[in-house]
Amino acid sequence: MIYLLDTDTLVFMIRGLKSARRPARQRAEHLAQRCEKAWSSGHTIGLSAITVSELEFGARRSGNYEAEMAAYRKVEAPFAVYDYDIVQCPPHYGLIRHELEAKGMTIGAMDLLIAAHAMALDATLVSNNQAHSSRVADLKTENWLRT
């Protein structure tokens, strides 16, 4: 099985692991342990190229690009990174966006792309943002902060 971490989840882990605040650090450590559990069970945990792009933007916007990228690289190293496949992903994107707009339940552009990528990979999307991911029909999701 492939688990695809969304940007929200990965950023939460990155910030939490470098936080001095005990609750944030404990929750980030819980996420890291959940990743370890999945790996030890033979699953793959990955990141979409879309998430990697969002992290690059966030690091540049942070005002401390080098420190943010160092923190990202430290956490990102064990994850597989999946390219956004130009053949497999667009049909999922088009269908998801069409269905959500028809229902008046749109989600952010990056969330749409990541959801399409997860569906193209037949992956389970690990997301803290269940309000958005739950809108996408047939998208397998889990929230590892609640398990």
What the chain holds in terms of domains, given with CATH numbers, is 2-142 (3.40.50.1010)
Q: Give tens-digit pLDDT for 95-129.
A: 999 999 999 999 999 999 999 999 999 999 999 99
Give the pTM. 0.92
Which pLDDT score, from 0 to 100, does residue 147 have? 67
What is the rounded distance in angstroms from the CA atom of residue 75 to the CA atom of residue 31? Answer: 11
Q: Do 90 and 26 form a contact (C-beta atoms < 8 A)?
A: no
Q: Do 79 and 37 form a contact (C-beta atoms < 8 A)?
A: no
What is the rounded distance in angstroms from the CA atom of residue 138 to the CA atom of residue 85? Answer: 19
Q: Give tens-digit pLDDT for 9-44.
A: 999 988 888 888 988 899 999 999 999 999 999 999
pLDDT, the chain, mean:
93
